């Protein structure tokens, strides 16, 4: 399995506090059966501003320690960007790294507020020959209210990464229901843990995988957790299925007259 979303780097963001916790998490990941992890610590302007070179140095140092400890796992560079009009420029200037230095760019939206310019950012990124990947759409209030917005994003050229732990209700019932809707509509392309702490998600992977298998089957889970993320590692493109339109009431515009 390959984890496309994690916060394991020590004291870079709100993830692992120190190197001791980082190694606790890495060992848990090994036990859970992960072979590769993208270290996607936050990059938020004015808050967490570790640039690409710093991340590369930290990951190199951690990889050395991993080899000394003889653990069978690889950490790859990455970042979870925060949506803004500046994001495409930051990537162009090499401040925010892409996932494993491939063409895939992971970024998140605010959880509660509604951002109007998502499509513009997606368009800008695709024009730069990059592939935008939107992190945990099922956690956004915007998508919980109207999941078909996520389908619009896919049609504009973005891919979606959902969180493993949403299926066991870690982020609330609404997120769980939204994840079900997205999975049923073939609108999920990657799965990631979004793991911040030791002893949280990696220790519950058995339970999570069981839930996923029950919902989408063994083959589809293999595709989302291994095959598609492998394409990021190899910097390849893959064909996606046309997502189905999500049924259910769409918020209608009220008549004014």
Contact footprint for other proteins (CB under 8 A): 9-12, 18-20, 23, 50-54, 56-58, 61-62, 65, 69, 92, 94, 97-98, 101, 103, 116, 119-120, 123, 126-129, 131, 154-157, 235, 237, 239-243, 252-257
Token output for 52: 């690409």
Residues 6+ apart with CB under 8 A from 190: 4, 5, 133, 159, 160, 161, 162, 224, 228, 229, 232
* Closer residue to other proteins (CB): 47 or 207: 47
* Closer residue to other proteins (CB): 77 or 201: 77
**DSSP structure string for 182-232:** HHHTT---EEE--B-STTSSGGGHHHHHHHHHHHH-HHHHHIIIIIHHHHH
* Closer residue to other proteins (CB): 38 or 171: 38
Q: Could you tell me the smallest distance in angstroms from the CB atom of residue 242 to other proteins?
A: 5
Q: Could you tell me the smallest distance in angstroms from the CB atom of residue 61 to other proteins?
A: 4
Q: Could you tell me the smallest distance in angstroms from the CB atom of residue 165 to other proteins?
A: 27
* Closer residue to other proteins (CB): 173 or 252: 252
* Closer residue to other proteins (CB): 173 or 255: 255
Residues 159, 132 contacting (CB under 8 angstroms) = yes
Alpha-carbon distance values, 149 to 48, 61, 88, 109, 188 (Å):
28, 41, 22, 13, 13
- What is the rounded radius of gyration, in angstroms, for the C-alpha atoms of the chain? 18
Q: Could you tell me the smallest distance in angstroms from the CB atom of residue 9 to other proteins?
A: 8
Q: Could you tell me the smallest distance in angstroms from the CB atom of residue 130 to other proteins?
A: 8
> Other C-beta atoms within 10 Å of 228: how many?
20
Q: Could you tell me the smallest distance in angstroms from the CB atom of residue 29 to other proteins?
A: 16
- Comparing C-alpha atoms, which of 83, 102, 121 is closest to residue 233? 102
* Closer residue to other proteins (CB): 73 or 168: 73
Token output for 245: 């339109």
* Closer residue to other proteins (CB): 87 or 175: 87
Q: Could you tell me the smallest distance in angstroms from the CB atom of residue 180 to other proteins?
A: 22
How far does the chain reach from its first CA to its final CA, in angstroms?
55
Calculate the CA dihedral of residues 179, 45, 124, 252 and round it to 10 degrees.
40
């Amino acid at each position: 399995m390959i984890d496309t979303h994690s916060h394991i780097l020590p004291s870079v963001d709100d993830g692992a506090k120190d190197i001791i916790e980082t190694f606790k998490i890495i060992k848990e990941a090994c036990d859970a059966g992960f072979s590769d992890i993208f270290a996607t610590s936050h990059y938020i302007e004015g808050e967490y501003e570790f640039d690409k070179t710093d991340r590369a140095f930290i990951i190199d140092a951690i990889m050395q320690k991993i080899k000394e400890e003889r653990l069978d796992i690889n950490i790859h560079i990455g970042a979870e960007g925060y949506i803004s009009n500046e994001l495409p420029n930051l990537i162009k200037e090499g401040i925010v790294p892409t996932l494993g230095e491939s063409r895939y760019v992971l970024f998140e939206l605010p959880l509660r507020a509604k951002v109007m310019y998502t499509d513009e950012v997606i368009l800008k990124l695709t024009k730069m020959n990059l592939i935008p990947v939107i992190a945990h759409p099922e956690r956004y209030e915007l998508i919980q209210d109207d999941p078909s917005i996520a389908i619009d994003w896919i049609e504009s050229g973005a891919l979606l990464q959902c969180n493993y732990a949403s299926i066991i209700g870690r982020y609330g019932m609404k997120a769980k229901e939204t994840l079900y809707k997205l999975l049923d509509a073939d609108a999920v392309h990657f799965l990631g843990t979004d793991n911040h702490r030791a002893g949280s998600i990696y220790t519950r992977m058995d339970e999570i995988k069981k839930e996923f298998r029950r919902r989408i089957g063994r083959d589809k889970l293999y595709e989302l957790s291994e095959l598609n993320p492998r394409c990021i590692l190899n910097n390849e493109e893959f064909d996606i299925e046309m997502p189905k339109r999500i049924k259910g009431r769409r918020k209608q515009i009220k008549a004014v007259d």
